[in-house]
Chains A and B, each alone.
Chain A
Amino acid sequence: MKRHLISAADLTRDDAVLILDTAEEMARVADRPIKKLPTLRGRTVVNLFFEDSTRTRISFEAAAKRLSADVINFSAKGSSVSKGESLKDTALTLEAMGADAVVIRHHASGAPYRLATSGWIDGAVVNAGDGTHEHPTQALLDAFTMRRRLVGPDAGIGRDLDGRRITIVGDVLHSRVARSNVHLLHTLGAEVTLVAPPTLVPIGVEHWPCQVSYHLDEVLPKSDAVMMLRVQRERMNAAFFPTEREYSRRYGLDGDRMARMPEHAIVMHPGPMNRGMEITAQVADSDRCTAVEQVANGVSTRMAVLYLLLGGNESAISPAPARTEENK
């Protein structure tokens, strides 16, 4: 029984579909006059952010609040708490405050895993992005967005992404979004292709459940969804690529390239976007680009995760939950 959500690799296909299905029901709550559910009343969710990420934090905050949980935002960024001891002390503090769940964003890969396995706290741990490791709720909301767009909100219920061709483009090496997406999309039956300059593909990628290509133009016509990763301009200084211009010429998505995608294919971006770098404004603002939708879907997906982890007396995620019919 998993009490935590640390890695997308930990999710079974049934776990993932359950989360997506639950998110679909949560999304419908957003259309109601009262967007709040009493489900997590009396539960305390702590957003523990060692790294700035306003969008992820407010997404989790909105999700927890819509489920009536008490939310405490703990911004631990700054030099005084950048040492390891602080993670432990902070964890012990949160434990003393009775946190039922800790949503953690940390610059160090593995910090959420340490938090979940160190015995420092009892509550559930949700990884909101750790270093260059994983960002599982981002992958879930991406999969949710893809299922809605490529299969359909109602038609998608109970289904995975079997056979869909997903292309992830950009700085895979430093991307926790890419790692989580590769695991989750593979689990959901999709065919994943990574596209990046060889310098931004990690050594060892040949063992990942995906294909790798260095040529965006060859892959685009065979893609049902193209996910553009944010590429930090500073990477240029570490010689990962020569210039910004060369990068966007070879790996950026512009209108011409988008036109080579199949008609139904969508463009995704986890945000924040570097317009003019990995994506042009024309693509970013087109109705094929789901970036804004992904933000809205993020709240529904995180509601689903929090509900399934905290809604009962134990997590409902894995082993495959039995939907029992109770006697009424």
Chain B
Amino acid sequence: MSKILIRGAKVLGGEPQDVLIDGESIEAVGTGLSAEGATVVEAEGKILLPGLVDLHTHLREPGREDSETVLTGTKAAAVGGFTAVHAMANTFPVADTAGVVEQVWRLGKESGYCDVQPVGAVTVGLEGKKLAELGAMHDSAAGVKVFSDDGKCVDDAVIMRRALEYVKAFDGVVAQHAQEPRLTEGAQMNEGVVSSELGLGGWPAVAEESIIARDVLLAAHVGSRVHICHLSTAGSVEIVRWAKSKGWNVTAEVTPHHLLLTDELVRTYNPVYKVNPPLRTEADVMALREALADGTIDCVATDHAPHPHEDKDCEWAAAAMGMVGLETALSVVQQTMVDSGLLDWAGVADRMSFRPAAIGRLEGHGRPVSAGEPANLTLVDPAYRGAVDPSGFASRSRNTPYEGRELPGRVTHTWLRGRATVVDGNLA
């Protein structure tokens, strides 16, 4: 097995150190390590992070290979510095059986760019009526531990309660897409000043917050843990903060786009800004950043949602919801959290690797950068500045809200168990 010496990298943003990779593991971390027999990667000025982990990725395969495949999605993940992604269950067919989750898991193995941990559906067909075979999915080769009907809310309180209880048997977690369906019928964007002017159907914050409030109470009642997907409002932050203060087992994620973009952008009626949950207000963005900084929100998850061009090249109401995010996530987090002084790089490692891996009970990822650990690593050049150019995306889809926007930082290298998947910013 070949050796790689990463020389002079700021590990988690700390003092420059050398990191020696031997085979699939980190052999040593220190200063002045010998480069003998090793390929040297000069990393002066760069930040070395544990490989990023995404709890929320739509890889679209099986069923919507026109927008993304496991292969293209994992390539995009590697470019973005991720070494593991959780593949959401809303595929066609829905990942609600052991067969489908194993298929996705196998496709991930074959891709080789990034580990793929399938998420299982909570209910059959995401219909919210009948529990899927959660145990079978857990027991399958895919070893599913995160269950979610993401894209739809498990709105039936009894089904939600049962799911929360049921997955306790194998330390699973239900990741809730919090959206009260009746309050969001015909919803097109955040309900507020902008929606009132644009005449687009409102998606009120309370539709998210009421479900989160119910679910943290349910989780407390049955003694389960619950994870809140893509939390998007200041009110949601308050509820999660309160639940955590009670000692309840609640975790939450925020997307990069909710940390940066607001509903003012919808004034362009450009569907590239159409996403679910919708872009909120400046006040929400600020509350989310603060909550991510203070740990109320545990992690960043991309909600990478690829869509083909034609699903966005139309009027707003007809457009699909969602944005790609894997390849820009770290840059957005750097801009909103690091460059703003809210979070240091150790904090980024925590919110984008340690904690998401811990929530997903994912083994081999989200580990410290130290000797003996698996060599899942991401090297970042924080000084880089460049405009986002979707034409260069590894993802099959281009529906990014950041086209032409200058964002800081770039992943120059990604290693998956010692094997480089990205070298000098390009797929290896």
Q: Does A241 contact B (CB under 8 A)?
A: no
By the criterion CB–CB under 8 Å, are B196 and A208 in contact? yes
A85, A88, A114, A208, most chain B CB atoms within 10 A:
A114
Q: Which residues of A contact B200 (CB under 8 A)?
A: 109-110, 131-133
Q: Does B363 contact A (CB under 8 A)?
A: no
B192, B268, B313, B315, most chain A CB atoms within 10 A:
B315
Q: Which of A84, A109, A117, A131 is within 8 Å of B314, CB to CB?
A: A84
Q: Which of A84, A88, A109 is within 8 Å of B199, CB to CB?
A: A109
Q: Does B310 contact A (CB under 8 A)?
A: yes
Could you tell me how many residues of chain B have their Cβ less than 8 Å away from some Cβ of chain A? 26
Closest residue of chain A to B312 (Cβ to Cβ) is A84
A85, A110, A113, A134, most chain B CB atoms within 10 A:
A110
Closest residue of chain B to A182 (Cβ to Cβ) is B197
Q: Does B96 contact A (CB under 8 A)?
A: no
Closest residue of chain A to B185 (Cβ to Cβ) is A238
Q: Which residues of B contact A269 (CB under 8 A)?
A: none
By the criterion CB–CB under 8 Å, are A85 and B313 in contact? yes
By the criterion CB–CB under 8 Å, are A84 and B315 in contact? yes
Q: Does B21 contact A (CB under 8 A)?
A: no
For the complex formed, measure the closest distance between the CB of B181 and the CB atoms of chain A, giving whole angstroms: 14
Q: Does A161 contact B (CB under 8 A)?
A: no
Closest residue of chain B to A87 (Cβ to Cβ) is B315
Closest residue of chain B to A50 (Cβ to Cβ) is B315
Question: With A109-B198, A109-B200, A110-B198 known to touch, is A83 a contact of B269 (CB < 8 Å)?
Answer: no
Q: Does B366 contact A (CB under 8 A)?
A: no
A117 to B311, CA, bound (A): 17
Among A25-33, A199-207, A221-229, A292-300, the stretch that binds chain B is: A199-207
A207 to B196, CA, bound (A): 9
A207 to B313, CA, bound (A): 31
A-facing residues in B178-229 (Cβ within 8 Å): 188, 191-202, 204
A203 to B310, CA, bound (A): 32
By the criterion CB–CB under 8 Å, are B192 and A203 in contact? yes
By the criterion CB–CB under 8 Å, are A203 and B195 in contact? yes
Q: Does A176 contact B (CB under 8 A)?
A: yes
Q: Which residues of B contact A118 (CB under 8 A)?
A: 313
By the criterion CB–CB under 8 Å, are A204 and B193 in contact? yes
A109 to B188, CA, bound (A): 10
Q: Does A111 contact B (CB under 8 A)?
A: yes
Q: Which residues of B contact A179 (CB under 8 A)?
A: 197, 199
A156 to B108, CA, bound (A): 72
Question: With A110-B200, A114-B269, A203-B204 known to touch, is A88 a contact of B314 (CB < 8 Å)?
Answer: yes
Number of A-B contacts (CB under 8 A): 90
A297 to B200, CA, bound (A): 29
Q: Which residues of B contact A134 (CB under 8 A)?
A: 199
Q: Does B319 contact A (CB under 8 A)?
A: yes
B-facing residues in A56-97 (Cβ within 8 Å): 82-85, 87-88
By the criterion CB–CB under 8 Å, are B315 and A202 in contact? no
By the criterion CB–CB under 8 Å, are A133 and B315 in contact? no
For the complex formed, measure the closest distance between the CB of B280 and the CB atoms of chain A, giving whole angstroms: 13
Q: Which residues of B contact A88 (CB under 8 A)?
A: 313-314
By the criterion CB–CB under 8 Å, are B196 and A202 in contact? yes
Q: Which residues of A contact B316 (CB under 8 A)?
A: 108-111, 114
By the criterion CB–CB under 8 Å, are B194 and A83 in contact? no
Q: Which of A106, A132, A176, A203 is within 8 Å of B315, CB to CB?
A: A106
Q: Does A130 contact B (CB under 8 A)?
A: yes
A82 to B318, CA, bound (A): 8
Q: Which residues of A contact B314 (CB under 8 A)?
A: 83-85, 87-88, 114
A118, A130, A202, A208, most chain B CB atoms within 10 A:
A202
A-facing residues in B297-348 (Cβ within 8 Å): 310-311, 313-319
A106 to B269, CA, bound (A): 14
Q: Which of B196, B202, B204, B315 is within 8 Å of A111, CB to CB?
A: B315
A111 to B202, CA, bound (A): 17
By the criterion CB–CB under 8 Å, are B310 and A108 in contact? no
Q: Which of B202, B317, B318 is within 8 Å of A203, CB to CB?
A: B202
Q: Which residues of A contact B196 (CB under 8 A)?
A: 202-205, 207-208
Q: Which residues of A contact B310 (CB under 8 A)?
A: 84-85
A110 to B59, CA, bound (A): 30
By the criterion CB–CB under 8 Å, are B318 and A133 in contact? no
By the criterion CB–CB under 8 Å, are B318 and A202 in contact? no
Q: Which residues of B contact A114 (CB under 8 A)?
A: 269-270, 314-316
A207 to B268, CA, bound (A): 19
Residues of B near any A CB (own CB < 8 A): 188, 191-202, 204, 268-270, 310-311, 313-319
Question: Can you name 30 A-B pairs with beta carbons within 8 Å?
Answer: A82-B318, A84-B311, A84-B313, A84-B318, A85-B313, A87-B314, A88-B314, A108-B316, A109-B188, A109-B198, A110-B199, A110-B269, A110-B315, A111-B315, A111-B316, A114-B315, A117-B268, A132-B201, A134-B199, A176-B199, A202-B195, A202-B202, A203-B191, A203-B192, A204-B191, A204-B193, A207-B196, A207-B197, A208-B196, A208-B197
7 closest cross-chain pairs (CB), A and B: A84-B314, A84-B318, A133-B199, A204-B196, A110-B269, A132-B199, A108-B317
Extra inter-chain contacts (14) besides given A110-B317, A133-B199, CB under 8 Å? A83-B314, A84-B319, A85-B313, A85-B318, A109-B199, A110-B199, A110-B316, A114-B269, A114-B270, A114-B316, A118-B313, A203-B191, A203-B204, A204-B191
Residues of A near any B CB (own CB < 8 A): 9, 82-85, 87-88, 106-111, 113-114, 117-118, 130-134, 176, 179, 202-205, 207-208
